[in-house]
């Protein structure tokens, strides 16, 4: 069986900066897979390459067997690879509802959008309460929920998240990760990029560690949580 996402030999450079130096990884259908690493390791660059937002120097990215590297960003979204970008990137002068509806705007199955909107608001009751509020007036946690909700309305097959825990209080991070688990249980495959190594490995089934543009460790998430090397290097002992 082929993996839902299979990446081979991916290299990305910004001028002379070799941000991603030939990495291999895969995401199996139905799992939560995580890519963890320190600031500057190459995590966001990897996600940007998956979404077609930076052009790789080399390598292949296959979603359900189909090569994505020559597709435009909107074509990649149409194939079901949808990203929640680092820093959330919601539109602060639009309402919560308008932001959510934007997530669905490329969909051809318009008739299903109201039902999916209702489902997302079921996952995030706080967004339902604030449906007509300006997105810029939401708290950081609510904005992250909105960014995830908007991505879900694009009907992903594979959801990519770039550090959803960034800048949020631990209690909010726990809420958000619990929701990711729930979305995954409902059948959505997730590729989660995080610096919050412990929380990410707790929800994931497989993990990869990236350091200076290279994958230095790949294992099941439970093994990694118990690996003294991982504990020492990424979880402060
Ligand atoms: N637009 C850019 N131009 C030049 N260098 C960049 C750019 N974006 C990232 N980098 C560099 O690429 C490397 C990887 O960055 P990034 O992928 O953002 O790491 P991470 O998301 O793991 O923090 C870093 O050395 C960073 O400084
Ligand atoms: Mg990053």
Which residue's structure tokens are 């993990």?
207
User: Residues 97, 99, 100, 105: what is their CA dihedral angle, to the nearest 10 degrees?
Assistant: 120
Q: What's the predicted TM-score (pTM) here?
A: 0.96
Phi, psi of 5 (to 5 degrees): -120, 130
Residue 20 CA: which ligand 1 atom is closest? 14
**Superfamily grouping for domain 1-80+156-237:** P-loop containing nucleotide triphosphate hydrolases (3.40.50.300)
Would you say the CB of residue 39 lies under 6 angstroms from ligand 1?
Answer: yes
Domain ranges of the chain: 1-80+156-237, 85-154
For residue 234, the model assigns a pLDDT of 76
C-beta atoms surrounding 187 within 10 Å? 9
Tell me the per-residue pLDDT of 205-214, one tens digit each, with 9 for 90 and over. 999 999 999 9
Tell me the per-residue pLDDT of 48-104, one tens digit each, with 9 for 90 and over. 999 999 999 999 999 999 999 999 999 999 999 999 988 777 899 999 999 999 999
Q: Which of 77, 30, 31 is nearest to 50 (CA)?
A: 77
Band (pLDDT 50/70/90 cuts) for residue 171 is very high
Token code pair at residue 123: 């996952």
Residue 15 CA: which ligand 1 atom is closest? 4
Nearest CA to ligand 1 atom 16: 42
């Amino acid at each position: 069986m082929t993996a839902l996402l299979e990446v081979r030999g991916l290299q990305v450079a910004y001028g002379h900066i070799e941000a991603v130096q030939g990495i291999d990884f895969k995401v199996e259908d139905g799992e939560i897979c995580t890519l963890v690493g320190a600031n500057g390791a190459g995590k966001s660059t990897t996600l940007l390459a998956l979404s077609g937002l930076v052009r790789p120097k080399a390598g292949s990215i296959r979603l359900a067997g189909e090569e994505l590297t020559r597709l435009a960003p909107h074509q990649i979204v149409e194939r079901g690879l949808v990203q929640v970008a680092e820093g959330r990137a919601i539109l602060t002068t639009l309402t919560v509802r308008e932001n959510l509806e934007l997530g669905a705007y490329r969909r051809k199955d318009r008739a299903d959008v109201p039902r999916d909107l209702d489902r997302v608001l079921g996952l995030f009751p706080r967004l339902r309460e604030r449906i007509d509020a300006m997105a810029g007036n939401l708290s950081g946690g609510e904005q992250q929920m909105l960014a995830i909700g908007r991505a879900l309305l694009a009907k992903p097959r594979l959801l990519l998240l770039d550090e959803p825990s960034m800048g949020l209080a631990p209690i909010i991070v726990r809420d958000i990760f619990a929701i990711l688990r729930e979305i995954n249980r409902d059948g959505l495959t997730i590729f989660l990029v995080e610096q919050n190594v412990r929380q990410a490995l707790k929800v994931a089934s497989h993990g990869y560690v990236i350091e200076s543009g290279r994958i230095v460790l790949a294992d099941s998430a439970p093994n990694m949580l118990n690996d003294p090397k991982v504990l020492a290097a990424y979880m402060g002992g």
